[in-house]
Amino acid sequence: MADCAAVSLPPGLPSPSPSSPPPVFLHNSIPLPKNPTPMTSSSSPSRKALSKIACNRLQKELAEWQLSPPAGFKHKVSDNLQRWVIEVTGAAGTLYAGETYQLQVDFPEHYPMEAPQVIFLNPAPMHPHIYSNGHICLDILYDSWSPAMTVSSVCISILSMLSSSPAKQRPADNDRYVRNCRNGRSPKETRWWFHDDTV
């Protein structure tokens, strides 16, 4: 988990290579647009039908969830296997105790080889890693995703992130980042850098 900040790069400036030392910014995780042209699609990825492997995997995960849901989460039943809406309840003894929020999980065609898109629906919780448009700065949703992960494990990581927060606040660059996403940019269209595990 990492602090989040977005920067605007001058036109034509090349992206830093993975071997280059990270630049110094106020915060240590910098989401950079992969494509400088704003997307015009909705915040949900353009969805193709799930592959057979994805369908089988999600049916298995859903059956396991119904038998033993992770504490603090409730799946809102629908007939849409490709989009789950999950209610999150803040853990006791944390800043979010008793508060409820909703996660929207959209599964790509080749799940679990590709990470799902996970966002908070409005209103999103106030948190240093959560933008007001619901985008979440959490490495396992992007570069650190593994096919061994499940919806349940993602939910547990998000609840842990909420529970460890010392303050309710937005990322320092929230307004700028949200403006850049106003045409429907998906969080998966952002290049996230993660350098800090303190929250």
CA 5 to CA 180: how far, in whole Å? Answer: 13
- CATH (one of 3.40.190.10, 3.10.110.10, 3.30.565.10, 3.40.50.300) for 32-40+48-187: 3.10.110.10
Q: Is 17 helix (H, G, I), strand (E, B) or coil?
A: coil
Query: What per-residue confidence (pLDDT) applies to 195?
Result: 55
Mean pLDDT per 10-residue section of the chain, whose length is 199 residues = 46 41 37 40 61 97 95 91 96 97 97 97 96 93 94 97 95 89 78 60
Using only C-alpha atoms, what is the Rg of the chain? 17
Predicted TM-score (pTM) of the model is 0.77
Q: Is 127 helix (H, G, I), strand (E, B) or coil?
A: strand
Q: Classify the C-alpha dihedral 27-28-31-32 as positive or negative.
A: positive
Query: What per-residue confidence (pLDDT) applies to 187?
Result: 84
Query: What per-residue confidence (pLDDT) applies to 177?
Result: 87
> Domain-by-domain residue ranges, the chain?
32-40+48-187
CA 25 to CA 196: how far, in whole Å? Answer: 12
180 and 6 in contact (C-beta within 8 Å)?
yes
CA 160 to CA 29: how far, in whole Å? Answer: 19
Beta strands in the chain, from DSSP E residues, in sequence order = 32-33, 73-76, 83-89, 100-106, 117-120, 190-191
Query: What per-residue confidence (pLDDT) applies to 180?
Result: 84
Active-site residues: which are they? 137
Q: Tokens 């980042």: give the residue.
A: 177
Query: What per-residue confidence (pLDDT) applies to 188?
Result: 83
Query: What per-residue confidence (pLDDT) applies to 70?
Result: 95
Query: What per-residue confidence (pLDDT) applies to 190?
Result: 76
